[in-house]
Amino acid sequence: MVEYKVKNLGLADQGSLKVEWAERHMPVLMRLREKGAAERKLSGLTIGAVLHVTKETAVLVKALVDAGADVWIAGSNPLSTQDDVAAALVKYGANVFAWRGESSEEYYWCIRRVAEAGPDVVIDDGADLHVMLHKDYVDAASKVVGGTEETTTGVSRLKALEEEGLLKYPVIAVNNAYTKYLFDNRYGTGQSTFDGVLRATNILIAGKVVVVAGYGWVGRGIALRARGLGARRVIVTEVNPIKALEAVFDGFEVMPMIEAAKVGDVFITATGNIKVIRREHLELMRDGAILANAGHFNVEVWIPDLESLAKSRRKIREYVEEYTLVDGRRLYLLADGRLVNLAAAEGHPSEVMDMSFTNQFLAIEYLFKNKHRIPVKVHNQPVELDYLVAKLKLETMGITIDELTGEQREYMKSWSYGT
Ligand code: ADE
């Protein structure tokens, strides 16, 4: 018998159809799932997961359940759960605590249920479960064999924990796998962020001035897709001189937010930092400016400043809140400043999550196989697993590549050849 709290179990069949669609587009993970189901290598393992409860996550959870694990899952954002998928997950045998539109208290209550299951392995997206275990469930944390972390923000939080000497179990930063961040963060977020902006607003990007805050892998993907959709100007704001220079050489305008604020039509934050768009910027924005966030937490557009500048607000369409400022200008905040791609759309497409979640699956197998032998620190994904994911993805796409000849291999190892 599984335990659960979801919106409506009656949505399970609808959710299963969505999951079936994702499975069709996640061939690498499906291959591992079949192998895992035959070998049952994760039998006896309790997994606690905090992930966006989407059709892609369901494919991962099914793979873990089929491999023998007892899975407990909560959502990693109050607005990202797909209720029909959550219901389907219960039917697949997972313990699920997630629904769309959780309050802050409900969100943490759900994560608590996962922490209290006493997981051997922890999968997290944003580190809320890791942090809760370290703060409030110290005994449970000391029994954890290892964990994984899906996203840049979560890895930063875990590195801070490690630097303070407080980390209690080894964590694999799945986010740092090449086959994760080069694809999921860049192409996944690039496309799904616009999917969210467009589903929420139905505006035309062609002819618009799009401002992208942050030129990490996520910002790069968003800037690239803004250009592809025909934005008249794509402006990047940065604090890191190397990234700023890269944005310039990639062909984007770079300027401080205080300048960009005056000219942007659509603002998208992707920095992982706090108060990136704040009072001084909001005061300069044009009437009609649209504000969206693609970073993990809803702190990049500083909503208290928006609220204090506004004389009124109203919901104008699903995921679009209109703030009328004292001087009459109207600014539009999408999805409460939460991850727009997951709140207003469905998150990254399955094809890219195929790689991210195959990395997760392999990292979990690795942690379980090597339990008690891995030093307590934040590790990168073992490189052989990263290469395996790329190799399998290419294989499923029917793409073959060259191999080094013996002579080339020798040449690469040698220091004595010159011209
Ligand atoms: N993060 C971004 N997109 C996602 C998706 N489709 N499923 C789970 N986590 C995600």
Q: How confident is residue 68, by pLDDT bands cut at 50, 70 and 90?
A: very high
pLDDT at 354 over 90: yes
Please report, rounded to a whole number, the percentage of residues in the chain having pLDDT higher than 90. 99
How do residues 242-274 score in pLDDT, each as one tens digit? 999 999 999 999 999 999 999 999 999 999 999
**pTM for the full model?**
0.95
Where are any strands of DSSP class E within 146-192? 146-149, 171-173
pLDDT at 418 over 90: no
pLDDT at 168 over 90: yes
Domains of the chain: 4-180+348-396 (3.40.50.1480), 187-343 (3.40.50.720)
List b or e across 48-58, with b for residues whose CB sees 16 or more CB atoms inside 10 angstroms: bbbbbbbbbbb
Per residue, the 3-state secondary structure of the chain, as one string, reads CCCEECCCHHHHHHHHHHHHHHHHCCHHHHHHHHHHHHHCCCCCCEEEEECCCCHHHHHHHHHHHHCCCEEEEECCCCCCCCHHHHHHHHHCCCEEECCCCCCHHHHHHHHHHHHCCCCCEEEECCCHHHHHHHHHCHHHHHHCCEEEECCHHHHHHHHHHHHCCCCCCCEEEHHHCHHHHHHHHHHHHHHHHHHHHHHHHCCCCCCCEEEEECCCHHHHHHHHHHHHCCCCEEEEECCCHHHHHHHHHCCCEECCHHHHHHHCCEEEECCCCCCCECHHHHCCCCCCCEEEECCCCCCCECHHHHHHHEEEEEEEECCEEEEEECCCCEEEEEHHHCEHHHHCCCCCCHHHHHHHHHHHHHHHHHHHHCCCCCCCCEEECCHHHHHHHHHHHHHHCCCCCCCCCHHHHHHHHCCCCCC
350 ligand 1 Cβ < 6 A = no
pLDDT at 355 over 90: yes
How do residues 28-62 score in pLDDT, each as one tens digit? 999 999 999 999 999 999 999 999 999 999 999 99
82 ligand 1 Cβ < 6 A = no
56 ligand 1 Cβ < 6 A = yes
Ligand 1 pocket test, pick from 54, 60, 62, 186 with the greatest ligand atom count within 8 Å of Cβ, gives: 54
pLDDT at 108 over 90: yes
**CA 75 to centroid of ligand 1, rounded, Å:** 11
Ligand 1 pocket test, pick from 100, 192, 193 with the greatest ligand atom count within 8 Å of Cβ, gives: 192
What's the mean pLDDT in 187-198? 98
pLDDT at 397 over 90: yes
